[in-house]
Amino acid sequence: MPDRHPGFLSVMVPAVLIRALALAAAGAVFLLPLARSAPAAPAIGHFTLANGLEVVVIPDHRTPVVTHMLWYKVGSADEQPGKSGIAHFLEHLMFKGTAKNPAGRFSQAVATIGGQENAFTSTDYTGYFQRTSREYLKTLMEFEADRMTGLVLTDANVVPERSVILEERNMRVDNDPSARLSEQVAAALYLNHPYHHPTLGWRHEMETLNREDALAFYGRFYAPNNAVLVVAGDVTADEVKTLAEETYGRVERRGVFGPRVRPQEPEPIAARQVAFADPRVTQSSVQRSYLAPSAARAKPGEAEALDVLAHVLGSGSNSLLYRALVVDKRLATNAGAWYVETALDLSRFGVYATAATGVPLSKVEAALDEVIVAFLERGPDADELERAKSRMIADYVYAQDNQATLARMYGAALTTGLTVEDVLARPARLRAVTADAVREAARLYLDKRRSVTGYLVKDIKDAAPHEEKRS
């Protein structure tokens, strides 16, 4: 399942594709005994093996469970032109086995010991994770280290898997009008940067991906010195270090990985609009994406200000957009805003609204714009600012409660240009956000020239954007 922003349509989220492979039996209590006491900030372990593998250890001794994640610093934005989808295809193919561990053995082992496993691909990273009882950590590491170099692909196991990813695209995008529109919005938003192509890939290119493509991508990007290991759970940094050296440590460093340089965007200068009509659409909606800096690319404090901005404007039923469009004016059945902080390059800020039955989309968009224009004038008031900050800091604290969420926080940070310190500093940085900083971020980035507005309608005749008032 894709990542979800709270209260937000799944289709507008960043393209992180996750698949649950072998879910443990529901209700296996020993796996999920969520302790509700407020956890202390963990003492993070952070070191690098001789072969370049970066390791992060997040001790969490509440239960005898470990979460083991291996993150590669490669995603769909690192694909070469014409090969869209190869990062995600390789993620699937990583389950096809090695000489030492033939297809299925790794997954079966995880299932046998009552574990869970998952894999995910985004624009910037590809990750593999398992969660098991703590005593199996070394086993997980042995399996994962083995497939870092030992993958065996044949046409016999590659070709059928290609049908699987095509079917996945069918299900997730082609049969979902809002996902199709989101793909078009991203393609129109990024004029030059590879974020313009979908992580799943364009269908016509996916159809041509083959064994050689997968092995070339694997050979180029899968190496200990291009990966980050994140282990969270009932372990110490020293234990993890020893185990990692005995397993991953035996994999040789390969290639040289400098800064990840992708084609960058020209200065955005023109507002864009995309209309997509599909007879399956039951409620029209409007979504707008603005180019906005990611945490890795922002000036100090700016990403946190954008984050607060998204919360004030559009997170939950108390947000400005929801109150104005849904509660007060009854023009929409949903409305909100979001910001993707985690990205190696230029990221996105979004707003959206779903029209109430019978309300023209032009009216909904006009109301949405009114909220933004008013906000640019006044910024957040003291109460709005404090509520948003408190809630976000609380969210951060609650996230410590979930081992996998916590591990993902670090993995995503370290594969998108951030550091362990950046993750730890988040509450303090949120606390420091001022009303002026939020308003300034809104003024800088909620500029239509940086944006693409998408209209999702049943009939193209309903897609007419609203006529703006002349001054």
Active site residue 245: no
Q: Which DSSP letter does residue 278 get?
A: -
Nearer to a second copy, 267 or 383 (CB): 267
Q: How far apart are CA 464 and CA 466, in angstroms?
A: 6
Minimum distance of a second copy from residue 184's CB (angstroms): 4
Instruction: Kindly tell me which residue out of 44, 271, 420, 444 binds a second copy, with binding defined by CB under 8 A.
Output: 271
Q: Provide the token pair at 421.
A: 């310190």
Give yes or no for residue 450 binding a second copy (CB under 8 A).
no
Task: Tell me the closest approach of the beta carbon of residue 153 to a second copy, in angstroms.
Answer: 23
Measure the CA–CA gap between 120 and 70, rounded to whole angstroms.
11
Pick from 202, 27, 26, 199: nearest CA to 119: 199
**Whole-angstrom Cα distance, residue 363 to residue 358?**
11
Provide the sign of the torsion angle of the four alpha carbons 376, 382, 384, 386, taken in this order.
positive
Nearest approach, Cβ of 455 to a second copy (angstroms)?
9
Rule CB under 8 A: is residue 258 a binding residue for a second copy? no
Applying CB under 8 A, which of residues 28, 43, 159, 270 lies at the interface with a second copy? 270
Sheet holding 227-233, edge to edge: 17-20, 116-121, 126-133, 65-72, 227-233, 54-59, 45-48
| H or E stretch covering 121 | strand 116-121
Measured between alpha carbons, how far is 131 from 231 in angstroms, rounded to an integer?
A: 10
Should residue 469 be labelled a site residue for a second copy when binding is judged by CB under 8 A?
A: yes
Binding of residue 471 to a second copy (CB under 8 A): yes
Number of residues that bind a second copy (CB under 8 A): 50
Among 91, 117, 168, 365, which one carries the catalytic annotation? 91
Under the binding rule (CB under 8 A), the answer on residue 269 touching a second copy is yes
Shortest distance, CB of residue 464 to a second copy, whole angstroms? Answer: 4
Q: Which of 12, 55, 179, 274 binds a second copy (CB under 8 A)?
A: 274
Q: Which is nearer to a second copy, 57 or 457 (CB)?
A: 457
* Nearer CB in complex with a second copy: 269/382: 269
CA dist., res. 57 & res. 43, Å (int): 9
The stretch among 1-9, 123-131, 154-162, 459-467 that binds a second copy (CB under 8 A) is: 459-467
Half-sphere exposure of 158 (CA within 13 A, CB side): 18
Q: How far apart are CA 104 and CA 57, in angstroms?
A: 28
Strand 54-59 and strand 227-233: pairing?
A: parallel
Least Å from the CB of residue 220 to a second copy: 15
Taking a C-beta distance cutoff of 8 angstroms, is the pair 153, 162 a contact? no
Per-residue contact string for residues 346-365; x = within reach of a second copy by CB under 8 A? ----------------x---
Residue 203, interface with a second copy (CB under 8 A)? yes
Binding site for a second copy (CB under 8 A): 80-82, 84, 180-181, 184, 187-188, 191-192, 194, 196-197, 202-205, 261-264, 266-267, 269-277, 362, 448-449, 454, 459-471
Residues serving a catalytic function are: 91
